[in-house]
C-alpha cells in the first residue's frame, strides 16, 4: 500500500481529532498501524524534529523497468568538518523490504550526492532521510511510476 | 553457496585539478539475489547480496554505502570526492557471506 495512503489517513485522523475535540481520540496513530518504513524512520529520527527541504531525489517520472531504476540523491550542505551530511537513508515503502540503501558521507566528499540503481516493485514514493553532523534530520519523498515491477515476484 | 563476487571496476576522472569535486563511478558484477525469487522447481533461491561498499583514499574512509536487496543486480555506485592531492583509492565490496572484492585506483591531481 502506498505510504501516501497512510499519511492521508493519519492527516485525516488528526483533522478529525482537532474538529471533534470533545471526542476521546488518541493523539497519534498507535505504533501498530505504522508501516515498516514509518517504524524504521521513527527509530532513526528518535525524538528529533523532521525538517523539509535541502534534499533532491532524482528519479525518472516513469520507470519502464523496475529492476533497475536510476536514483540520485543530493543534499545541500557545505560539507565542512563542522557542517556536513553524515548519512542519507533511502526507503521504498511498497517494496517487500522498505530499506534500499544508506549512503555515509564524509567532508572529504566535498558534496553530498550519490547515485545507484534500485529495484521498485510498483509505483510508489521513494523516501530519503538525511542525518546532518549537527544532529538535525531532513526528509523528502519523490513519486516514481513503475510500468514493470522489479522484485522478481 | 554465494555467487562469485564478480569483477569490480572503477572510473576515476583524469585532468583533475586541486580543489575539484570529482565523481567516482564504480560497478561490480553480482546477481544481488533477493531471497524472494523461486527457481523452476519452486524452491526459494537463497538471499545473496553485496551488503557493504567502502571507499578509502590513502587509507582513510571517505564514503560508505549499506546495500539492501532493493539495489539492482551488478551494483552501480557513484559518489563525489574533493581532490586535493594525488593518491590511491581502495574500494571494498562485501557480501552476505563476508567475502570481499577489492580494487585500487590511482588519482592524479595535476
Q: How far apart are the CA of B7 and the nearest CA of chain A, in angstroms?
A: 17
Which cell numbers in the block locate residue A24?
Answer: 476521546
- Please report the domains of chain A, with CATH numbers, ordered by start residue: 1-34 (no CATH), 48-148 (2.60.40.2470)
How many Å lie between the alpha carbon of B104 and the closest alpha carbon of chain A? 18
The whole-number pLDDT of residue A26 equals: 43
* Confidence (pLDDT) at A29: 53
Whole-model pTM? 0.86
| Tens digit of each residue's pLDDT (9 = 90 or more) over B5-24 | 889 999 999 999 999 999 99
Buried b (16+ CB within 10 A) or exposed e, B57-67: beeeebbbbbb
- CA angle, B53 then B3 then B90, to 5°: 25
CB contact under 8 A, B79 and A108: no
Specify the pLDDT at position A4.
45
At A50 the pLDDT is 96
Q: According to the per-residue pLDDT averaged within each range, which of A1-15, A106-120, B34-48 is highest?
A: A106-120
Kindly list the residues from chain B whose CB atom is less than 8 angstroms away from the CB atom of residue A106: 61-63
The stretch B60-67 carries a mean pLDDT of 98
Residue A52 confidence (pLDDT) above 60: yes
Inform me whether the pLDDT recorded for A13 exceeds 80.
Answer: no
Q: Is the backbone of residue B15 left (phi > 0), alpha (psi -120 to 50) or beta?
A: left
- Is residue A16 over pLDDT 60? no
- Percent of chain A residues topping a pLDDT of 90: 69
A109 Cβ under 8 Å from any chain B Cβ: yes
Chains A and B form CB pairs within 8 A to the count of 101
Which of A117, A131, A151 is most worth mutating to test chain B (most B CB atoms within 10 A of its CB)? A117
Beta bridge partners, B67, equal A101
Q: Which residues pair with A89 in a beta bridge?
A: A102, A129
Query: Quick check: B110 and B15 in contact, CB under 8 A?
Result: yes
Q: Best residue in B47, B68, B76, B109 to probe A by mutation, most A CBs within 10 Å?
A: B68
Domain residues of chain B, as ranges? 8-35+44-107
Gap between the Cα atoms of A14 and A12, Å rounded:
5
A118: contact with B, CB 8 A cutoff: yes
CA distance A107 to chain B (A): 8
Residue in chain A lying closest to B79 (CA): A114
Phi, psi of B27 (to 5 degrees): -150, 140
Average pLDDT for A100-125: 97
- Order of strands, sheet of B76-82, starting from the edge strand that comes earlier in the sequence: A55-58, A69-75, A112-118, B76-82, B21-28, B8-11
| Collapsed DSSP state (helix, strand, coil) of residue A9 | helix
What per-residue confidence (pLDDT) applies to A87?
98
- Residues B7, B10, B14: CA angle, nearest 5 degrees: 150
Contact A151, A95 (CB under 8 A): yes
Report the residue from B65, B69, B75 with minimal CB separation from A102.
Answer: B65
ipTM for the predicted complex comes to 0.96
CATH class of the structural domain B8-35+44-107: mainly beta
The string of DSSP letters for B5-53 reads: ---EEEE--SSB-TT-EEEEEEEE----B-S--B-TTSPBPPPB-EEEE
Positive or negative, the Cα torsion across A150, A151, B3, B4?
A: positive
User: Which whole-number Å values give the CA distances from B58 to A7, A135, B89, B107, B109, in the listed order?
Assistant: 46, 28, 6, 10, 14
Answer yes or no: do B21 and A111 touch at CB < 8 A: yes
Nearest CA in chain A to B84: A108
Q: Of B21, B70, B77, which is closest to A95 when you measure between CB atoms?
A: B70
CA–chain centroid gap for A42, Å, is: 11
Residues in B touching A69 (Cβ below 8 Å):
72
Amino acid at each position: 500500500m502506498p505510504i501516501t495512503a497512510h499519511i492521508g489517513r493519519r492527516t485525516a485522523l488528526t483533522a478529525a481529532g482537532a474538529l471533534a475535540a470533545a471526542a476521546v481520540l488518541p493523539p497519534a496513530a498507535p505504533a501498530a498501524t505504522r508501516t515498516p518504513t514509518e517504524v524504521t524512520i521513527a527509530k532513526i529520527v528518535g525524538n528529533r524534529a523532521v525538517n523539509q527541504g535541502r534534499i533532491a531525489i532524482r528519479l525518472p517520472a516513469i520507470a519502464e523497468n523496475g529492476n533497475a531504476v536510476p536514483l540520485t540523491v543530493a543534499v545541500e550542505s557545505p560539507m565542512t568538518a563542522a557542517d556536513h551530511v553524515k548519512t542519507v537513508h533511502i526507503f521504498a515503502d511498497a517494496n517487500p523490504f522498505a530499506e534500499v540503501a544508506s549512503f555515509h558521507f564524509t567532508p572529504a566528499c566535498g558534496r553530498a550526492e550519490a547515485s545507484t540503481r534500485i529495484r521498485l516493485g510498483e509505483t510508489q514514493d521513494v523516501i530519503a532521510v538525511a542525518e546532518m553532523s549537527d544532529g538535525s534530520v531532513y526528509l523528502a519523498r519523490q513519486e516514481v511510476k513503475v510500468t514493470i515491477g522489479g522484485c522478481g515476484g | 553457496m554465494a555467487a562469485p563476487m564478480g569483477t569490480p571496476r572503477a572510473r576515476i576522472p583524469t585532468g583533475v585539478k586541486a580543489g575539484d569535486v570529482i565523481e567516482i563511478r564504480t560497478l561490480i558484477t553480482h546477481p544481488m539475489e533477493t531471497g524472494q525469487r523461486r527457481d523452476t522447481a519452486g524452491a526459494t533461491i537463497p538471499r545473496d547480496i553485496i551488503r557493504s561498499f567502502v571507499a578509502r583514499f590513502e587509507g582513510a574512509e571517505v564514503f560508505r554505502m549499506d546495500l539492501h536487496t532493493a539495489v539492482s543486480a551488478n551494483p552501480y555506485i557513484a559518489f563525489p570526492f574533493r581532490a586535493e592531492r594525488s593518491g590511491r583509492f581502495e574500494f571494498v565490496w562485501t557480501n552476505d557471506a563476508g567475502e570481499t572484492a577489492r580494487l585500487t585506483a590511482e588519482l592524479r591531481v595535476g
